[in-house]
Amino acid sequence: MTTKTSSSTSWWKNAVIYQIYPRSFKDSNNDGIGDLQGIIQQADYLSSLNVDAVWISPFFKSPMKDFGYDVADYRDVDPMFGKTEDFKQLLDVFHKRGIKIIIDMVLNHSSDQHAWFSESRQNKKNEKSNWYVWADAKPDGSPPNNWLSVFGGSAWSWDPRRAQYYLHNFLTEQPDLNVRNPEVQKALLADCKFWLDLGVDGFRLDVCNFYIHDEKLRDNPPSEKAVKFIEGVPSNNPYNMQSHDFDICQIENYDFLKKLRALTDEFKDRILIAEIFNDGNRDLIRNYIEPLGPLHTAYSFSFLVDQFPHEALKLSLEKLTSGTTPFWAFGNHDVPRVNSRFAPEFGGAEFSKQIFSFLSVVGAGFFLYQGDELGLPQAEIPFEKIQDPYGKNFYPIFKGRDGCRTPIPWDESANSGFNLSFEPWLPIPTDHKSLAADSQDKNPSSLLNLVRRMFSERKNIQGVLTELKVKDGLISFKRDTYSCYYNFTPEVSVFSLHSMDALPTFSHHYHLENNQLTLKPYGSFVGRSLT
């Protein structure tokens, strides 16, 4: 499973990658939905953040049953977002600013409106009959096995045309491609090459450990332990009750990913970032990324949980000291906003200062989800306004993913500058308007301006971690000429240290007197020795 490392592709190892959920970023044509021209309009804003790359969630042609993660045409831009010419312009605008563009490739499944599926479902003998995962019913008419959909219910749906079941790990409208089929692999690689030829700098690979299923379609056994969290899977979802031994994570998955890596390596400085959907199995993640696996890196779900993951943080820091390069992610479009998950009582800008100080000093790359640089809290969406089918299925215990997907507040106008007048596809909370980007831009001490300064300064911090100490949420280490102390707890903590000069950009909620450092809850101190 070992793969060649592309020595030229190293820019990502300390990169800040900003995730854009295009529906909610900026609406340029006043139809209530964000678009590619809206992203272009905010290029200077993104450049001011000092980010290295932008990851754009799917903008391909789609019926939008899962808001773009159900692709109907991998080579076409959905009219909702613009045209291919708009994307070419976007590439040019951002590349001229030195910002790379990563796009989201959804290769596990397509939309049921993709031309491939339309042909495949017609009968069992057409050219694409084996392009999706089809199986006969059991003698009693029930599904082929006990596999469950992440979004609820059986992972199998009956198609009367073929008189067979088809597999869908997510919505019924998202049939799973049969990536075991060499012809399917060839077609998917050709679609990826289309975008590489166009100039994208890499792919974020949606649920890339789902691509290959067990050929024998064996039942999953019950889970031997209560799974506390799989990203985006609520506690009342029976998906958590199975051990997913056969529906995902098959060894043959690596063979296809090696082909994708070989294709990517034909282009200079391109990157493959894995989303590995699982319950925090770090061994699995290591098998997918360099130096063992075919992909460049992956972000762990260990920090996308409901409670602050002290043990996972400790393990990730220990990996850094041994030379491993993790990719950090504390938020994305599938989980509640980081402030609302980890420290609601200290939330907003105060907690965000701690997170961004840590990420800026510790090293390695990380994702920044749109709006987190403003300190946005999770939005409360009333049931009648919920758009996410996942939320509708599991309401009220789980209200879906809309709360982290509301439009970005650019100013304090009626629609917060997202557009001029048309009602946005999701409501913009009142408390988000007070955190609008233009207001923060005018305030030198705002979170937005603090993030800008930290992301600029972090580029000058070199070297590996040394003298790492981690205990019960208290972290200290040295990196380069910096001594760093973090209190990831709601309690006051005290450290003894030599005389230090604090770096105000990175230090928050602390008091230093007579070489005694007091860190308030979620406080941080980064300094240089004065002796």
200 versus 227: the higher-pLDDT residue is 200
| Residue 385 · residue 404 · CB < 8 Å | no
pLDDT at residue 7, as a whole number: 39
Label residue 463 by pLDDT band (50, 70, 90). confident
Measured CA to CA, the distance from residue 444 to residue 259 in angstroms comes to 48
335 versus 312: the higher-pLDDT residue is 335
The residue whose two tokens read 């979004």 is 151
| Residue 46 · residue 18 · CB < 8 Å | yes
Lowest mean pLDDT among 40-49, 95-104, 295-304, 469-478: 295-304
Asked if pLDDT for residue 344 goes beyond 90, the answer is no
- 128: alpha, beta or left, given left = phi > 0 and alpha = psi -120 to 50? alpha
326 versus 294: the higher-pLDDT residue is 294
Q: Which pTM was predicted? A: 0.95
pLDDT at residue 498, as a whole number: 83
**What does the domain layout of the chain look like in residue ranges?**
11-110+181-458, 463-529
Pick the CATH number of 463-529 from 3.20.20.80, 3.40.50.970, 2.60.40.1180, 2.60.40.1230: 2.60.40.1180
Label residue 245 by pLDDT band (50, 70, 90). very high
pLDDT at residue 323, as a whole number: 64
Asked if pLDDT for residue 6 goes beyond 70, the answer is no
Q: Name the nearest CA neighbour of 289 among 302, 269, 301, 271.
A: 271
User: Does an H or E element contain 344, and which?
Assistant: none
Average pLDDT over residues 106-129: 98
Token pair in block for residue 11: 């820019």
Structure confidence by residue, pLDDT tens digits, 396-434: 888 999 999 999 999 999 899 999 989 999 999 999 999
State the catalytic residue, choosing from 140, 266, 345, 513. Answer: 266
Which residues have CB under 8 Å from 323's CB, separation 6+? Answer: 464
Asked if pLDDT for residue 157 goes beyond 50, the answer is yes
Lowest mean pLDDT among 11-15, 47-51, 115-119, 142-146: 11-15
Q: Is 266 an active-site residue?
A: yes
State the catalytic residue, choosing from 104, 173, 176, 206. Answer: 206
Measured CA to CA, the distance from residue 364 to residue 462 in angstroms comes to 10
Q: Is 70 an active-site residue?
A: no
Which residues have CB under 8 Å from 84's CB, separation 6+? Answer: 76, 77
Measured CA to CA, the distance from residue 305 to residue 486 in angstroms comes to 20
Q: Which fold has domain 11-110+181-458?
A: TIM Barrel (3.20.20)
Label residue 215 by pLDDT band (50, 70, 90). very high
- C-alpha count within 13 angstroms, C-beta hemisphere, residue 409: 29
pLDDT at residue 21, as a whole number: 98
CB atoms within 10 A of CB 198: 14
Which residues have CB under 8 Å from 486's CB, separation 6+? Answer: 354, 357, 358, 474, 475, 476, 519, 523, 524
Measured CA to CA, the distance from residue 479 to residue 461 in angstroms comes to 8
DSSP letters along 121-154, please?
A: TT-SSSTTTTSB-EEPPPTTS--SS--B-TTSSB
pLDDT at residue 346, as a whole number: 65
Q: Prior bond to 291 cis, omega within 30?
A: yes
Average pLDDT over residues 162-184: 98
343 versus 336: the higher-pLDDT residue is 336
| Residue 82 · residue 36 · CB < 8 Å | yes
The rounded percent of the chain whose pLDDT value lies above 70 is: 95
